[in-house]
Amino acid sequence: MPRTPLTLRRALDAHCARLGTCRQCPLAPGVQPIVSLARAPRAMLVGQAPGQTESGGGRPFAGRAGKTLFKWLARAGLDEQTARELLYISAVTRCYPGPHRAGRGDRVPSPGERARCSGWLTDELRIIRPAVIIPVGRLAIESFLGAAPLASVVGQEHDVEHAAGRAVVIPLPHPSGASSWIHVAEHKVLLDRALELIGRRLGTLDIPSRSVA
């Protein structure tokens, strides 16, 4: 059936209502899935898992990592409001996994959690059929490109087959302060290149660039 803005919005409304009540994993009390606000998305951004700030559900990338991510996207020509409206923000897992046992950062979602949650991402790919996907962080990148060193995939475009067709995948490193990767000089160059590619690709999708102070 041909997709119209209205059918896309309805499909995403129904999808997000189901996602918001998902309890397939044994979660800590009060933990709820994060849900994207975009209902007329032109592309997708796929993160790893919510952090503590987003543990009660609601908007993805609402914490400190999100501040860095939206600063990066501003360099690609998208302010936060535009990014939240036009990029459907998905993730490998949608519920806060809890703190890491060693006490630094958050626990990496288990393979079981990732497998249980993967159906949500597959459904979103089928509903949105994105031409551009921006995976953010190692777990998200691996789900589209397989395991590879970040330096060999960031700063490049990748033509990838996904659940609903083909897309250009432009990976970004994780913006969390826990990652030292982004502080290496050569890696900063790769990040700059990736943001330039994202800006160019989003320009071809008619995404309005809003200037950011």
> Can you give the binding site for ligand SF4, defined by CB under 6 A?
22-25, 27, 33, 93-95, 113, 116-117
Could you tell me which residues are beta bridge partners of residue 90?
46
Measure the CA–CA gap between 4 and 136, rounded to whole angstroms. Answer: 28
**Least distance (Å) between residue 5 CB and ligand SF4:** 26
Residues in contact with 135: Cβ distance below 8 Å, sequence separation at least 6, in sequence order: 45, 46, 141, 143, 144, 145, 169, 171, 172
Closest CA relative to residue 49, chosen from 130, 106, 123 = 106
Nearer to ligand SF4, 28 or 205 (CB): 28
Closest CA relative to residue 65, chosen from 191, 173, 213, 184 = 173
Helix residue ranges per DSSP H, 41-79: 64-75
Contact 84, 73 (CB under 8 A): no
Nearer to ligand SF4, 108 or 212 (CB): 108
Nearer to ligand SF4, 49 or 76 (CB): 49
**Least distance (Å) between residue 101 CB and ligand SF4:** 18
Measure the CA–CA gap between 79 and 209, rounded to whole angstroms. Answer: 8
Nearer to ligand SF4, 34 or 168 (CB): 34
Nearer to ligand SF4, 118 or 156 (CB): 118
**Least distance (Å) between residue 31 CB and ligand SF4:** 8
